[in-house]
Amino acid sequence: MFNMSVPWWEFVVRGVVVYAFLLVFLRLTGRRQIGQYDPFDLILLLILSNAVQNSMNAGDNSLMGGLVSALTLIICHVCMARLTWRYRRLARWIDGKPQVLIQSGELKADIMRDERLTTDDVQAALRAAGCLHTHEVERATIETNGQITVVLRNRDSWRESDVES
């Protein structure tokens, strides 16, 4: 139970490498996938954890090996949180930056494509904000956590613009 088949430091090195790999991999897949779990994303994360397990523990199933691996991941996470808090450039790379999706009623298709958002995703965010059409939106921003924040236009202003059109 307490005897490890590999040295403790190997668990640490393996844990750091796997943590860094997954951090880069998940960042490259896009912030929306991380911020909003749907069943497909959750399944991917569960399978990933199983896929990297043996690379972290080198086939060692001892209690100590598991605890060293878990502690390594927690320390990596705490260090990354502190580093991103201290260094803005690193935080921007890890977390990304908010992107304006709708400005003055105009939907930006290039941002939708970059963030891999579907029309259904945008429509769901609009409905959650209490509107049905993009012309009702002053600004919609996809935040770094994947959520879409919607600021509605003054109803009088969008009605006037509809009359003028």
Helix residue ranges per DSSP H, the chain: 8-28, 31-35, 39-57, 63-86, 88-95, 109-114, 119-128, 155-164
Asked if 65 and 121 sit in the same domain, the reply is: no
Q: What pLDDT band is residue 34 in, cutting at 50, 70 and 90?
A: very low
Q: What pLDDT band is residue 42 in, cutting at 50, 70 and 90?
A: low
Q: How far apart are CA 47 and CA 41, in angstroms?
A: 10
What is each CA distance from 152 to 97, 121, 133, 138, 162, in whole angstroms? 21, 17, 10, 5, 15
Choose from 92-96, 114-118, 130-134 the range with maximum mean pLDDT.
Answer: 130-134
Which structural domain, as residue segments, surrounds residue 150?
99-164
Q: Count the domains in the chain.
A: 2
Q: How much is the pLDDT for 162?
A: 55
Q: How much is the pLDDT for 100?
A: 95
Asked if 84 and 14 sit in the same domain, the reply is: yes
Q: How much is the pLDDT for 37?
A: 58
The length of the chain is 165
pLDDT at 163 over 70: no
Q: How much is the pLDDT for 164?
A: 52
Q: State both tokens at 127.
A: 């409905």
Backbone angles phi, psi at 150, to 5 degrees: -120, 130
In this prediction, residues 26-39 reach a mean pLDDT of 58
Q: How much is the pLDDT for 135?
A: 92
Q: How far apart are CA 101 and CA 89, in angstroms?
A: 23
Residue 148: which residues within 8 A CB-CB, separation 6 or more? 101, 121, 122, 125, 140, 141, 142
| Segment (H or E) for 138 | strand 137-142
CATH number at residue 132: 3.30.240.20
If phi > 0 it is left, if psi is from -120 to 50 it is alpha, else beta; for residue 30 that is left
Please identify, among 95, 113, 130, the residue that sits at the C-terminal boundary of a domain. Answer: 95
In this prediction, residues 74-96 reach a mean pLDDT of 88
In this prediction, residues 11-28 reach a mean pLDDT of 82
pLDDT at 130 over 80: yes
Asked if 103 and 88 sit in the same domain, the reply is: no
Q: How much is the pLDDT for 35?
A: 52
pLDDT at 36 over 60: no
Q: How far apart are CA 64 and CA 74, in angstroms?
A: 15
Asked if 62 and 135 sit in the same domain, the reply is: no
